[in-house]
Amino acid sequence: MVTSLPTSPLGQTGMAISRVGIGAWAFGGGGWVDTWGAQDDAESIAAIRHAVDSGVNWIDTAPIYGLGHAEDVVGRAAREIPASERPYLFTKAGVIWDEQRPLDKPALIGTRKSIRAELEASLRRLGVEQIDLYQVHAPPTDGIPIEEYWQTFCDLRDEGKVRAIGLSNHTVDQLDRALAVGRVDAVQPKFNLIHREATDVLAWCASHGVGAIVYSPMASGLLTGAFSAERMAALDEDDWRRTHPDFTGEALTRHLELVDALRPIAAQHDVSVAAVAVAWTLSVSGVAGAIVGLRRPDQVRDWLTAASLRLDPPDLAAIAEATARASADARPPAQPRRETRPPNPTAN
């Protein structure tokens, strides 16, 4: 039996998404650049099923995750779920690889031919006839202007191959240019208590009625409350975090201090630190949902409560103070929502 979770409208797409969704990056397993290390497919599928049974109704993936493997796993999991309970499937295009290209230098391609080929491959791996949300993974570097690749995405929506279209990792200027070509259904920026650069993008979404789903709300594990210097040392050799600046030296110390500042808030609400970190992103105007990475079924309980957790003004003030102390820049935390009720109470 599927449990109900609070939902929000994803812009004007007609989809009401649970406030938290499944991020499929880790399902790609090992053997490629940016891997999270080895991952058992059966455990991935069990994690997806547990999250869906708990009320999560969408999964975000991409072809580059495991060089197609994550999409295969998500497709297998979706086919095992009854049609009436099947989650929305979101994926992306624009980051490709081939045997002649080093894995640490994937191509960012925006040609019509490449995007259409990627779509057909994703449809096949996911085992569906229509993708619910198809997103540009990142701005192409092959010289194709946004007006051209966004027109391709608009055409795919018009043809019914995808239900909605979005842009990930794009600036406000690029979003304005895309909007001049055709409707933007959704935007996906990186956003968390450590990396808040997308505040302007989220404000753009709020002012244009565009659905925003943020990724990395727990900063790739830093804000879970379970990460430590010892955990860092024990990561798989091919785990990308071993060499990332956020996870080394003084930055790691600051980030773990931020986590310690979140613990009293988590204790007050009887939730995990991870739930507080995710709920903070959901408190920002314009955010419809947060993508949360998943590897095992038991991890779901750590962040699921974020979907219904409402941080009060004292909580937000304490978080703002802790973030200012831990931040390497002077950017202030984004402003919370002004409403005092759930964003879409009739959609539950």
List residues with catalytic annotation.
65
Tokens linked to 142: 């092959």
Nearest to 90 by CA among 146, 28, 23: 23
Other Cβ atoms closer than 10 A to 306:
27
CB neighbour list of residue 61: distance below 8 Å, 6 or more residues apart: 24, 25, 27, 70, 71, 74, 89, 90, 91, 92
Distances in Å between the Cα of 124 and the Cα atoms of 24, 92, 119 are 17, 14, 9
Return the ∠ at Cα 347 (arms to 346 and 348), rounded to 5°: 95
Tokens linked to 11: 């812009």
Nearest to 210 by CA among 10, 34, 16, 6: 10
3-state DSSP assignment of residue 181:
helix
Nearest to 277 by CA among 302, 244, 299, 294: 302
Q: Where are the alpha helices (DSSP H) in the chain?
A: 41-53, 69-79, 112-126, 146-159, 172-181, 199-208, 229-233, 249-269, 273-282, 300-304, 313-326
